Amino acid sequence: MGRLAGLDASGARAISFSSATRNSLVVLPLAFAVPGAVPLLPAVIVAQTVVELVASLAYMRVMPRMSRIEVAAAA
């Protein structure tokens, strides 16, 4: 994606990172507004947030390596 947009390595990483993670805590107040979903829906949203945090840590490790591989392949 970043290469198609003509971005440098840091811009390509930013696009990859932001497209792979979502901000699930934004919908948490909406989950509390759904009648009858209070015990389950917030738990699902918080679990999704934990998964996103773990995935974010993995992305922080993997993305710089992937961009180095792309730069080496382009050269």
Q: Render pLDDT for 1-53 as a digit per residue (tens, 0 to 9).
A: 666 778 777 777 777 777 766 777 777 788 888 888 778 888 888 888 888 88
User: How sure is the predictor about 68, in pLDDT bands with cuts at 50, 70 and 90?
Assistant: low
Question: What is residue 6's predicted lDDT score, i.e. its pLDDT?
Answer: 80
Contact 55, 61 (CB under 8 A): no
pTM score: 0.58
Question: What is residue 26's predicted lDDT score, i.e. its pLDDT?
Answer: 78
Contact 21, 56 (CB under 8 A): yes
User: How sure is the predictor about 67, in pLDDT bands with cuts at 50, 70 and 90?
Assistant: low
